[in-house]
Amino acid sequence: MSLNIETSNDFKIGAAAKLAGISPNTIRTWIRRNYFTPSHVTESGNRLISSEDIKRLVMMKTLISSGDSISSIASLTDDALAKRLAEATYIADSSQSLQSRSLLTNIKPAFLGENVQARYGLISKRFWSPVLIEKIDDLKVYLEKEGDIDIILIDFRLSSELRALVDYAKSEKERTVVALFDFLPREIVKELSDADIQLIRGPINADYLEKELGSILSAIQHKRTSNPLDYTPPARIFDDAQLSQISNAQPTIKCECPRHISSIVSSLAAFEDYSKICEVQSTEDREFHNYLADETARARHIMELALVRLCAHDGISIT
């Protein structure tokens, strides 16, 4: 700790706490326990926190929010903290992508809009059997014949039939409707929002669309699970190969939890599958075995979410 006079780049603990988004008491506790050392101290003994100190505090706070303990990161250099933060961010993004994809595998989307073939030629590869349709009437014909669409994504960008698209979006009650747009008149956005249309504002690429749809479908699924008559078991987040990879990974912290939780998830998934087979073999107990499969799926999903958080905490990359 060096002795310096106060400069314009130095802050007292109260001001630094506001800039870093951390309570002053937390910073004082970290100082007292040697988890954090301010760069400067005045001749009168006041602790001063520099701009670089604030960056460090923000990184520490972010990592702790991601699951790291203060004791495990306090001794890291600024460069090591930045590297750890980059790793944690990558793992969190990968985990969120896995959860999004687990939801997207269960849907069949239709993209509706002018020149949709060109717009979504690349994005559509992220989906399974998408339907690309340019005109509303063509979509209506398809739905009458096939009826296998779960979600309709309407491209409002530079459309010559804007009013018709808005009216159709508001009239579609059987399926989730998502409006994709870059710019729309404020009154149109409000009209769509008031009609419970999901909104995704551009620019849109494959990763962004996947993430946003994952959030939308997760919220819809959560709402549906409140009604047991409309319950659909959540899809698996991890397949068997990924569980094996996590089980055999070398975490940054010496810990057997990844192996144990991977085993729990694997066992629950196996019993979930067995219950479905048993349901077919024991037709007289079909309802009960269906109940067992659904409840096991709930438990498996809870443990999978815990495993996602654990992988982020232990620095385990998921492929």
Looking at the structure, do residues 130 and 220 belong to the same domain, yes or no?
Answer: yes
Q: Is the peptide bond between 234 and the residue preceding it cis, with omega within 30 degrees of 0?
A: no
Q: Is the pTM of the predicted complex or chain greater than 0.75? A: no
Q: Residue 123: give its domain's CATH number.
A: 3.40.50.2300
Judged against a pLDDT cut of 80, whether residue 128 lies above it is answered with: no
Shared domain check, 204 and 255 = no
User: Is the Cα torsion angle 226, 228, 232, 237 positive or negative in sign?
Assistant: positive
With a cut of 60, say whether residue 295 has pLDDT above it. yes
pLDDT per residue over 149-198, tens digit each? 888 888 887 677 788 888 988 888 888 888 888 888 888 888 888 888 88
189-245 confidence digits (pLDDT tens): 888 888 888 888 877 777 777 777 777 766 555 444 444 445 567 788 888 888 888
Last residue of a domain, one of 201, 230, 259: 230
Say what the pLDDT of residue 180 is: 87
- The answer as to whether 309 is a domain residue is yes
Question: Does residue 126 sit in the same domain as residue 212?
Answer: yes
* Host domain of residue 277: 240-314
The percentage of the chain sitting over the pLDDT mark of 70, rounded to a whole number, equals 79
pLDDT at 312: 75
Please tell me whether residues 217 and 113 are part of one structural domain.
yes
Provide the pLDDT for residue 41: 78
Instruction: State the total domains in the chain.
Output: 3
Pairing of strands 2-3, 40-41: parallel
CB 129 within 8 A of CB 153: no
Task: With respect to residue 23, please indicate whether it lies within any of the assigned structural domains.
Answer: yes
Query: Alpha-carbon distance 108 to 308, whole Å?
Result: 26
Distances (CA, A) of 106 to 26, 60, 89, 152, 214: 44, 38, 27, 14, 11
Is 126 found in the same domain as 180?
Answer: yes
